[in-house]
Structure 1
């Protein structure tokens, strides 16, 4: 291939995308298509079913959104107006569904696109009203979409032309198989289907055979990998001092926007309280929080009001928060593939980023599995234990106070969501808190 041909391939126009959508891509800052977009869009525009395999943060949303919007424009030009419920996108999490909807709306802003989101944790009546307005694109989680198909009067998907299963491997791991089967029985057989997944599991293969017709398989990465712009390190530590090491790293990198991944919902709440007690601007997000609180936390993080997001794996897939500088694995994931998705929250779209894994004596085997998966030995983060343990007294006090708040001072555990209100009340102003100051030695060491 000549240099000229290579240059042509690197534009959305050369992939066959129409002028209106090329302009929309420019407005969103999408100047060059990603590898999965280059591979997928031409086949999709030819009307073929797709199986797309790509690592997280690779631009999968654009790979299916642009062909769908182009097909919608063509139908609108023929019939005078775009049809309702033209496409449905199924997502494993509420936050990812909302983000996909936002990207559709941004790409379709110049053509009057209407998009609706149906996810759990939100009033069904308000969603039913949105469905009654007959949007062109519907994005949702399988359970709530099935609820509406079963219970919302007058709602059906008989006009559907496109079905997208995004993060299909996770959809199936979250036991949505039954709901997906019922949705497939309720929609037209004559449709285009796009299945996008980070991994090709047996369950994904079974789903592929059930709902795709002669699909084209496109792949942006043939193995599990992390991007070259990501600096990955680990820190080996005793389990009893893990909180100290976390505070130390966050303080050493105090100018960074960070995501801290834990294994449990309870840990997100406790860590957020500990860090806020120490004057760090942390906020939790987990599956146990109400939808409004989850969105509120995410919006505060995106807006920069809080620069540390403490989260479970609910935030490890799909969420595109461009400003994330660092990912910390507070708990090493038991499934090494989840590591790829977690660290994929940083170093996105060519930017640089840092990922640090806190490995205690009980997690060594899981960490070795991660190194085996990514095919490299990671360097150690430079932390002197003597300096880290200078924080021990303050961190211990902060943890004791935080546990008392979670117990409400009476030994009674709070009901779900109740402790989040307490966090907001107690820490409504962070200006009074005294943040831990970095030492000169720490700064030198990091350099």
Structure 2
């Protein structure tokens, strides 16, 4: 006779809910907008039909000894080592308390950072500080306000991030915050784009992640994986809740779940990374957060020149007004004074006055001029406004120092030494084929910048039809799709990202081989930041400018503002004889895209007409509702699409052959290519075209020496011919 189970009914809030661990990618791709995911074990759901409808009851099996949420709160937590009852319901906070920085990181040792940060730097293989970090960190640790100008990819995030995390970690280690109390906001980092804000948050959290680093007998560090709560349970030890971090970092950006972000802020964070628009939306309804902003310890403006540019972030002024500690002029109105000025307090604050950091790669108003506008005649200025971006900052920010520390190590001409620049001058109608040729000729991770979203929407299906992995990135995409496309671009070695200037600032995408300016940017600082997506951290990079005749004036103004000439940039060596075949491929791909676009437009218009007629209670004509004509046109369209796709497939299957190469007799002819093909020295699908780096194949025209007819045809694209008398 089986023993009867002992069960009881409990309320929903009394169940033993347990958090579900989710990956970051899963949170973005599938369940965006959910506050939390939790599961409950050992509970049976029973449904009963009542007068008020169907009601669910929850039955707990007591024979399994599963505590409810109320019982779990009443039970004390035990430690892993001794099993003694602790005073709090949280596990011991894990942090590095000692690190041999003198031997493992000698270049960083003089900064005297928190051991946790040393362990993170060593784990990430940041052995030497960059120049901007070497100059900024001592000043920041000394309490100075800092304005930093340095080239893209120079490590500006850690330049201001390490001093902030050092002080917060040091304070939290000596006096940990209460586990269940709300954390006051200590540092606010403002960024112009969502992607940059999320990237900064990820970098700072990497510094706070636990890194076990112990030294072995031979002096080498040995990393140990941190045991999680589930691991301890499998080993037979008591399970404890995951402990809160000593310092918490969160990102608040638009396009993502507002409810989830508000819940994070209700718990409190130490460091908040945000875009001005979403932050101000929350501040308007959260008085407690607004009070935290008034009492900030650190304020950071990343890519500041973009944010203070006129007309871009109106909310930034409102946020900066909250951070101001004093008025520049005496206020006599008592009502205004009592409303806007904080009342004096005799209590000494444990946090000193606010420290401000401002960083960018460009801090000059001349670089922000719209190059496509007509030049204003020289003479008296129209207004007496500030003469530079730095003057704007001094007026709009409440610097502690009357003269903040200015660190400017930006390179001359806005170009880093590891970047190679080239240009192609062609007709506007030939830009597509030159771009296609470059992407085939030099495969790699390529970032193509355009000034218009319509251009991205036009190029994306064309390149996809041509078999190239292409991903768009612009402001009209949903945030989830933007992040997904960015992750796909990062994960594939040979991929293409078609982006507007939202991808030009601050994004640290690993191993970007090429940057292509399909459309010339309107400002010089946009050109500098675009180029900064490659040649980062002393790596080599390549930048290509595709210039049409109507863009030459803008190009001259662009390089003139940098103190250079357009002719200083070498022209790209293009295999012109291959462009004809590529034009045929592009022509067929454009026809396919046009047919598909017309079909989708017709379907959309007909669907819209039916929905509108139903909403207005209007009956459509029977001829319009008839699908006979639509079926005939659809069959014609489908047959044309099948033919065009077959033609494109045939063209794509044909290899591109360089001049002087015989595909029938590859071991003979003026250029035998069999040994090079076997050695893998030629590009895939391009017979006779050597596999070279883009910067190595860029030869200035004045240095080109033509020695025979074959080289003449390759260089000029003109068929060589002989004339008889």
TM-score range, shorter chain: 0.7 to 0.9
The structure with the larger Rg is 2
1:70-109 residue CA offsets vs partner (Å, 9 max, x unmatched): 1101221343239531111000000000000000100111
Higher relative contact order (CA 8 A, sep 6+): 1
Match of 2:690 in 1: 443
* SS in structure 2 at match of 1:116: strand
Count how many residue pairs are aligned between Structure 1 and Structure 2: 423
Instruction: Please give the residue correspondences for 1:375-394 in structure 2 after superposition, counting only pairs within 5 Å.
Output: 375=564, 377-394=568-585
Match of 1:171 in 2: 307
Matching of residue 304 in structure 1 with residue 440 in structure 2: no
Aligned equivalents of 1:104 and 1:69: distance in 2?
8
Match of 1:191 in 2: 354
Match of 2:132 in 1: 36
Matching of residue 108 in structure 1 with residue 208 in structure 2: yes
Match of 2:519 in 1: 331
1:56-79 residue CA offsets vs partner (Å, 9 max, x unmatched): 211110111001001101221343
Cα distance change on mapping 1:305 and 1:222 into 2, 3 Å: closer
Aligned equivalents of 1:305 and 1:269: distance in 2?
23
Greater alpha carbon shift after TM alignment, 330-339 vs 286-295: 330-339
| TM-score w.r.t. length of structure 1 | 0.87
| TM-score w.r.t. length of structure 2 | 0.55
Match of 2:393 in 1: 207
1:292-338 residue CA offsets vs partner (Å, 9 max, x unmatched): 11111101111118711110111011000112111111111122332
* SS in structure 1 at match of 2:571: coil
Distance apart, 1:159 and its partner CA: 4.6
* SS in structure 1 at match of 2:483: helix
Query: Structure 1: which 5+ runs fail to align?
Result: 1-7, 415-431
Distance apart, 1:233 and its partner CA: 0.8
Aligned equivalents of 1:205 and 1:403: distance in 2?
51
Matching of residue 118 in structure 1 with residue 118 in structure 2: no
Cα distance change on mapping 1:403 and 1:88 into 2, 3 Å: farther
Cα distance change on mapping 1:65 and 1:403 into 2, 3 Å: farther
Q: Is the 8 A contact 2:172 2:247 kept in 1?
A: no
1:376-410 residue CA offsets vs partner (Å, 9 max, x unmatched): 61111111333212211211221233344455533
Greater alpha carbon shift after TM alignment, 378-387 vs 293-302: 378-387
Aligned equivalents of 1:257 and 1:354: distance in 2?
11
Matching of residue 133 in structure 1 with residue 322 in structure 2: no
Match of 1:147 in 2: 281
Q: Is the 8 A contact 2:152 2:361 kept in 1?
A: yes
Instruction: Please give the residue correspondences for 1:357-368 in structure 2 after superposition, counting only pairs within 5 Å.
Output: 357-368=545-556
Cα distance change on mapping 1:144 and 1:243 into 2, 3 Å: same
Match of 1:221 in 2: 410
Between structures 1 and 2, the one with greater helix share:
1
Distance apart, 1:269 and its partner CA: 2.1
Matching of residue 400 in structure 1 with residue 598 in structure 2: no
Aligned equivalents of 2:109 and 2:131: distance in 1?
15
Cα distance change on mapping 1:283 and 1:124 into 2, 3 Å: same
Cα distance change on mapping 1:72 and 1:413 into 2, 3 Å: farther
* SS in structure 2 at match of 1:233: strand
Matching of residue 238 in structure 1 with residue 431 in structure 2: no
Distance apart, 1:154 and its partner CA: 4.3
* SS in structure 2 at match of 1:362: helix
Aligned equivalents of 2:557 and 2:147: distance in 1?
27
Cα distance change on mapping 1:436 and 1:105 into 2, 3 Å: farther
Instruction: Please give the residue correspondences for 1:12-91 in structure 2 after superposition, counting only pairs within 5 Å.
Output: 12-81=108-177, 83-91=183-191
Cα distance change on mapping 1:141 and 1:23 into 2, 3 Å: same
Aligned equivalents of 1:397 and 1:118: distance in 2?
45
Aligned equivalents of 1:387 and 1:398: distance in 2?
17
What value does the CA root-mean-square deviation take over the aligned residues? 2.7
Match of 2:60 in 1: none
Aligned equivalents of 1:407 and 1:239: distance in 2?
25
Aligned equivalents of 1:309 and 1:435: distance in 2?
24
Aligned equivalents of 1:378 and 1:413: distance in 2?
47
Q: Is the 8 A contact 1:9 1:15 kept in 2?
A: no
Aligned equivalents of 2:544 and 2:497: distance in 1?
15
Query: Structure 2: which 5+ runs fail to align?
Result: 1-103, 211-244, 326-352, 366-387, 606-647, 656-684, 698-725
Aligned equivalents of 1:176 and 1:335: distance in 2?
15
* SS in structure 2 at match of 1:295: helix
Cα distance change on mapping 1:329 and 1:441 into 2, 3 Å: farther
1:100-141 residue CA offsets vs partner (Å, 9 max, x unmatched): 000010011136432211111122111101111212111111
